[in-house]
Structure 1
């Protein structure tokens, strides 16, 4: 979920819909439905970016209405996990978490199990974190400009390895 430039709260549901809450105490109103595994959203100005299975879509907000929905990134690796959270960076770039295609394996695609960087026009800029089984959440510490990622650890091991939090630095393994 994220607040839009119009001050309203936009929320993705696991059922593949995007809803808006116009004011405190108001109920949600569905704006979009049928989104395949929608796991992340982010705003930059009046552009809303949705991370949906294998792609990132851009919508434009005009007078309270969303339009567009074309893919700015497509062909991302998906299987057991997929692309997750989107983080706009202060320099105009975007970070995108992409989960592994399996629970434990050596990934053939370098874009799997990684955090990817994209330029402001969504052209690919490279892998900044690799070997991250499922980099789900991304957050920015505004006071420093540092980005952080939460990584969901391997399944069926109890608390070992535990999920963890990392500061994102280029080339992190």
Structure 2
């Protein structure tokens, strides 16, 4: 062997050793990073308070895709997640790995299956994605011309009797809307035609309005036994208990409403009080007709003021403890304008005789002093019977399950 070949061979061996060393170093760095990440996650989860017999864990981190909002299940029980800020919809497998099933959407929020097709609520309407193999085709307009601006994110769900419901939030904090569709829940038939509470005849177009006086009802669901519809509602901000009085942190409380066709639920004139169930009280700084609050529908339950309740789900089909399965869970997204923040938690709404009677903490700890590190948005019982929670601040999807 010539000297040149010997020299090249030696260099090759050195290169191979160097490559192996670098690969090992990269693996060690990667392992160290993964361990550090796991430690960070465990440290965060340890801050959360859950009832004895339950545990909360991170099921998926979708933060690199966007901020997760509303949840749904596909026909195979896989979790669907909307990312309003990046215009995407994801599907997660049983290990929490994500794939994009739709993108380029206009602030997608609510998700619902209509037969085998997927409905996605955008800011100005609903699009339909027709079933195509294991996925869905490109989105096509289905319900159009809904108002945007203000509370623009919309939720869509299909009721047990096959109607499509959509929330349309208010354009303001407290005002009389020019557009009657604002501050409502709407109902449509399965083919996308308006099917509101008030039937119209003759040349008047059928309205889609089902219930009014709802400043922003992003979360709604139907009782598994009675079929009654319940909706969370976010009350007005910066209100006072007296005419021209100072802003009161605890007014108005948020509402859980039992939704009935054609009813008005008080906004912008009235709110409920925790110690006066079954009644509505007039905002002293924004009054309507003298008997407006007597004519409107009082909340089924009041919730902490400015806590921003959004997602709601019943636990009847869950594998959580038996004493919880007649109850519901509400995600409190959290306040922005209180001296002492409220929300940033999950509430368990206890039902008796199929009616809500009280709300108690289920998970707390996302709020530390006046600083929040997590913001729950939606809740859903998965195909495995456990409770899943989206968090648009951490970008995580949590899973809550029994420890037994």
- The alignment's TM-score, normalised by the length of structure 1, stands at 0.92
Match of 1:148 in 2: 230
- The number of aligned residues is 172
- In structure 2, the partner of 1:139 is 221
> 1:78-121: per-residue Cα shift (whole Å, max 9, x none)?
11112522121122211111101111110111111000111111
Residue in structure 2 matching 1:13, options 83, 87, 98:
83
CA distance in 1, matches of 2:252, 2:181: 22
- How far the C-alpha of 1:36 sits from its partner, in A, is 1.7
Contact 1:40 1:86 in 2 (8 A): yes
**Residue 26 and residue 133 in structure 1: after superposition, are their counterparts in 2 closer, same or farther (change >3 A)?**
closer
Secondary structure class of the residue paired with 1:37: coil
| Maintained 8 Å contact 2:117/2:136 | no
Is the contact between residue 84 and residue 137 of structure 1 (CA under 8 Å) also seen in structure 2? no
* 8 Å contact kept, 1:79–1:102: no
> Structure 1 residue 112 and structure 2 residue 187: aligned?
no
For structure 1, the residue ranges without an aligned partner over 5 or more in a row are none
Any conservation in 1 of the 2:107–2:122 contact (CA below 8 Å)?
A: yes
> For 2:89 and 2:160, how far apart are their aligned partners in 1?
25
Residues of 1 paired with 2:153 and 2:183: CA distance?
9
One of 108, 116, 128 as aligned partner of 1:46: 116
Equivalent in the alignment of 1:128: 210
Q: CA deviation at 1:30?
A: 1.6
Deviations 1:58-77 (A, max 9, x none): 11222212104111111111
> Corresponding residue for 1:164?
255
| Bigger-Rg structure (1/2) | 2
| 8 Å Cα contact 1:100/1:112 also seen in 2 | yes
Where do residues 57-76 of structure 1 align in structure 2 (5 Å cutoff)?
57-76=127-146
Post-superposition Cα deviations, 1:123-173, rounded to whole Å, max 9, x if no partner, equal 011212112111111111121111111111112343311221111101111
| Separation in 1, partners of 2:132, 2:228 | 31
Distance of 2:107 and 2:96 partners within structure 1: 26
Where does structure 1 differ by over 2 angstroms across 4 or more consecutive aligned residues? 155-159
Q: Which has the higher contact order (CA 8 A, sep 6+)?
A: 2
What is residue 7 of structure 2 aligned with on the other side? none
Which of 22, 41, 47 is equivalent to 2:93?
A: 22
Question: What whole-Å deviation, never above 9, does each CA across 1:12-47 have from its counterpart, x for those lacking one?
Answer: 123221000122x23111222222221211112211
- In 1, Cα distance between equivalents of 2:156 and 2:128: 12
CA RMSD of aligned residues (A): 1.4
- Match of 1:33? 103
In proportion to residue count, which structure has more strand? 1
TM-score by length of 2: 0.41
